[in-house]
Structure 1
Amino acid sequence: MAGNAGNRVATAVRTWAADMVPAPGPARGLAVLTVVQSVGFGLFLSSSAIFFRTTVGLTAGQVGLGLSVAGLAGLLFTVPVGRLADRFGARRPLLAVYAALAVLFTGYGGVGGFAGFVALACAISVCETSSHPLRMTLTHEVFEADERVKVSAQMRSLFNLGFMLGAAVAGGALAVGGRDGFLAVILLTAAAHALCAVLTARLPGRGRSDSAVDEPTGPKRRSGLRDVRFVGLSLLCGVLELYQPILTVALPLWIIGRTQAPGAVNSVLLMLDTVLVIAFQVAASRGAETAPGAARLLRRSGVLLAVCCLLFALTQDAGALVAVPLLLLGTAVLVLGELGQAAGSWGLSLHLPPPGRQGEYQGVFALGRGLQQTVGPYLVTALAVTQGRVGWAVLAVLLLLAGLACPPLTRAAEKARESAGDRHPEPAPTP
């Protein structure tokens, strides 16, 4: 019996590893790129706010305001950059973004005040915000339809792994402290992005003749921003992505202010989230290979995220013996919703854009995430932390409604796309 159980465990581990490790070729190259970028991202994000405060001399308010302005600046450029990808292919703009980031991060070494910090943070935000839709467009260009969601899931698992490694290195830099530690962080981050540019240059890409479809003659095509169904789905996915500020902003404040659980449990919750995403993102993405399947995952995500909010609400004023198990259970449920939200979002963003406009539509879809990143921390804090159980209940209803709205809106978007395809059929490929 023990031998059979051991064999089953070994088989399960081998199956998991086979799913996690991308196949040789473009997927393997994209995996290396993802790990390198995420190590740099984890290194910088885990330490930069402290260094800006202690080394550059900015106040906490200046850091927060500067990063908020930078986030808004990044949103303004996602759609124009996506259109460049439609015209020239995604690889060249992505390479340019990584090369620019390598230069821009080194510029932090010369920042001595708030104005310079904001200007540089805005430029970096434009590049970083553009990199995600460009990577998704490149995934659409390079991989077949039945591979794209799985590749995206593998990349997210590997991104979390690289982020953990970067955060660990950041701990060493913070231990060194001072200007030497700060310079080490920015130079290593810049080097990571320079390596990303080199790796991107080695990836396959498609030029305009392969990735874009000639515009039909007649009236000028409408902007993707006027595709109200697609914009609506991007916003719904942004609402469901509130799991992120719930985990990283609301829960830490909730634990220390509204429960009797020890503050250290927050680190356990973050580690639990990261490990579960690494382990199960690929498996949880099955079903998102079609737009209706992706929408069903989003509906399930809304239900799960609503349940996790209600579980967190039960911990108000609870002692550690009650609060800690409920927080762990709530976080596990949150991760299940997070996995479905990620896979469902990839599915819709890859399946619904019209032919030849993947870059532009990826830029449009990024607006939902950008809105969440801008408004989400304030919203979840104002509701959950300030209002207590009632605020958690409001969040639960909001997330549930967002999930339930995804399938019917997806059906409407598919019908609209089919109708547009009938009016402007895709041209036959050139022999």
Structure 2
Amino acid sequence: MPIQILPPTGAPRVLAAAQLSNSLGDGAYYVTSALYFTRVVGLSPTQIGLALTAAWAIGSVTGVPLGALADRKGPRGTAVLLALVTSASVASFLFIRSFVPFLLAACLYAVAQCALAAARQALLAGLVTPAARTGVLAHLQSTLNAGLAVGAALGGLALRHDTRGAYLAVFALDAASFLLCALVLLRLPAVPRTAAREQGEPRLAVLHDRPYSVITALNAILLLRMPLLSLAIPLWVVDRTDAPSWLVSALFVLNTLAVMAFQVRMARGVSGPRTATRAVRHSGLVMLASCVVFAFSATGPPVWATVAILVAGAVLQVIAEMQQSAGSWQISFDLAPAHQVGQYQGFFGTGVPVSRTLGPLLLTSLLVVWGVPGWLLLGGIFLVAGLAMGPAVRWAERARAEAGAGAAEGIFTGRLPAG
């Protein structure tokens, strides 16, 4: 069966083009930004870490109200505006020479990125039928990874030259990529604004939705796989094994290419809450197996065996990643009210900045400090979160049914039932 990255023509194809445009710039930005701010601007790693932690924390908080803004004002216009703001925030990095301006620009960047993700999800929900959303999101994820891979290669050229001009060219490319993203999004048809809030309905209803909050928290735990790949595994390979350091890059490339090639196929069996929770449950089991395999790499096998073990762990990890992604996409849309997709997606999307903010400290403590026992504990955490998703989704479905019955009787309490 041939690998298909791009989704069908129409709105999904335009969404993919927008995704590809900004992911090219982001790929180059991700591999060069840390070196630019340390070597060229002169910031310390501690300053960079502090600013980024604060920025993503603020971004996670503002995603919900800005997602609600997309519901009220229309997701297309909101997404275009946020893409322009992201472009401006990246462009401002070109002129930053000290910590405080960097902190402010990083906060603006994180807020715009988190809100843009929510607005895009609301836009997709308005343009794609519910049955096709997970499949389209799988195509978009494949497109994202393709763009990041090409962008990372471009960033590699800048790293090779290691000059101020090369780094500035990368930032200009990323700013231009979000500008192009905004122009591409304008090609999409406008999605009608949602209906006004019912009397007594909270402005940010998702904050009162306890089942959805639990689901979001479980998803944030499962998203610890993100700093696991980008931070913990590289540190583990270098500090705890005898594997060559180039394997870190090879494992990252393996992950990127696997998602690009197989995410669409992995998502085909996910079509509703039952299949989605099964996918998330399986992802927890596979992540447990992956953690056990990674732990074995520190038991002192020959170098060739260590490399094979690490590759096997990475393969299991990316399989779990694709299962978890497909299942979580389906769950997040199925349980979001049709008139509040933006704010619900903004809330669900907080799992990404939360995992990026808290994950590095947690994972380095578990794996780099504790070693093999830390891997086993982490695998158990993934397993419990995956298994807990099913009961949490059923709780949310019962709450939806009870809330719907109350609305039919003209009753609105302002809070979903506890289940």
TM-score by length of 1: 0.92
Quote the residue 1:6 is aligned against: none
Shift of 1:175: 2.4
Equivalence map 1:27-426=2 (5 Å): 27-208=12-193, 212-218=194-200, 220=202, 223-318=205-300, 319-425=302-408
- Residue by residue, what CA displacement relative to the aligned partner does 1:221-279 show, whole Å, maximum 9, x if unpaired? 77211211101111111111111111111111111111111111111111111111111
Map Cα deviations across residues 160-216 of structure 1 (whole Å, 9 max, x no partner): 0000111111111222333211221111111111111111111122121xxx23433
Distance 1:218 1:316 in 2: 58
Q: Deviations over 1:322-366 (max 9, x none)?
A: 211111111111111000111111111111012301111111111
Cα separation, 2, equivalents of 1:90 and 1:232 = 26
Q: Whole-Å Cα distance in 1 between the matches of residues 409 and 178 of structure 2?
A: 37
State whether residues 157 and 279 of structure 1, in contact with CA within 8 Å, keep that contact through their aligned partners in structure 2. yes
Residues 107 and 218 of structure 1: CA distance in aligned 2, closer, same or farther (over 3 Å) = closer
Q: Deviations over 1:103-144 (max 9, x none)?
A: 222211211100111011111111011111111111111000
- d(CA) in 1 for partners of 2:409 and 2:270? 24
Could you tell me how far apart the structure 1 residues matched to 2:68 and 2:394 are? 26
Question: Structure 1 stretches of 5 or more lacking a match?
Answer: 1-11
Shift of 1:219: 5.7
The match for 2:417 is: none
Separation of aligned partners in 2, 1:334 and 1:176: 33
Please give the alpha-carbon distance, in whole angstroms, between the structure 2 residues aligned to 1:366 and 1:50.
28
SS for the counterpart of 2:336 is: coil
The one-letter code sitting in structure 2 at the alignment partner of 1:362 is: Q
2:74–2:192: 8 Å Cα contact kept in structure 1?
yes
Contact 2:65 2:204 (8 Å CA) reproduced: no
Cα distance between partner residues in 2 of 1:402 and 1:367: 17
| 2:413 paired residue number | none
**Amino acid of the structure 2 residue aligned with 1:254:** W
Distance 1:195 1:219, change over 3 A: closer
From the superposition, tell whether residues 425 and 280 of structure 1 become closer, same or farther in structure 2 (CA, over 3 Å).
farther
Mark the CA change 1:425 to 1:277 in structure 2 (over 3 Å): closer, same or farther.
farther
- Check 1:189–1:219 CA distance in 2 against 1; reply closer, same or farther (3 A cut): closer
Structure 2 residue ranges without an equivalent (≥5): 411-419
Shift of 1:401: 0.3
- In 1, distance between residues paired with 2:408 and 2:24? 44
What letter is aligned with 1:374?
T
CA distance in 1, matches of 2:104, 2:140: 31
Does the residue aligned with 2:245 lie in a helix, a strand or coil? coil
Letter of the aligned partner of 2:104 in structure 1? A
Q: Provide the C-alpha distance between the structure 2 equivalents of 1:218 and 1:21, rounded to a whole number of angstroms.
A: 43
> In the alignment, is the contact (CA less than 8 A) between 1:305 and 1:400 conserved in 2?
yes
Equivalents in 2 of 1:84, 1:115: separation in Å?
A: 29
Task: For 1:248 and 1:313, locate their aligned partners in 2 and report how far apart those are by CA, in whole Å.
Answer: 17
Q: Is the 8 A contact 2:124 2:133 kept in 1?
A: yes
Q: Does the 8 A contact of 2:69 with 2:78 survive in 1?
A: yes
Q: Percent identity?
A: 35
The amino acid across from 2:252 in the alignment is: L
CA distance in 2, matches of 1:193, 1:107: 13
Q: Determine the C-alpha separation between the residues in 1 that align with 2:332 and 2:53.
A: 25
8 Å contact from structure 1 (residues 294, 344) kept in 2: yes
Does the 8 Å CA contact 1:355/1:426 hold for their aligned counterparts?
no
Q: What amino acid does structure 2 have at the position aligned with 1:393?
A: L
C-alpha distance in 2, partners of 1:123/1:233?
A: 27
* Cα drift, residue 62 of structure 1: 1.0
Number of aligned residues = 409
Q: CA RMSD in A?
A: 1.6
Find the aligned partners of 1:46 and 1:347 in 2 and give their Cα distance.
31
Compared CA separation, residues 167 and 91, structure 1 to 2 (3 A): same
Structure 2 CA distance for aligned equivalents of residues 321 and 102 of structure 1: 45
Counterpart for residue 415 of structure 2: none
- Go from structure 1 to structure 2 and tell me whether the alpha carbon gap of 1:30 and 1:379 turns closer, same or farther (over 3 Å shift): same
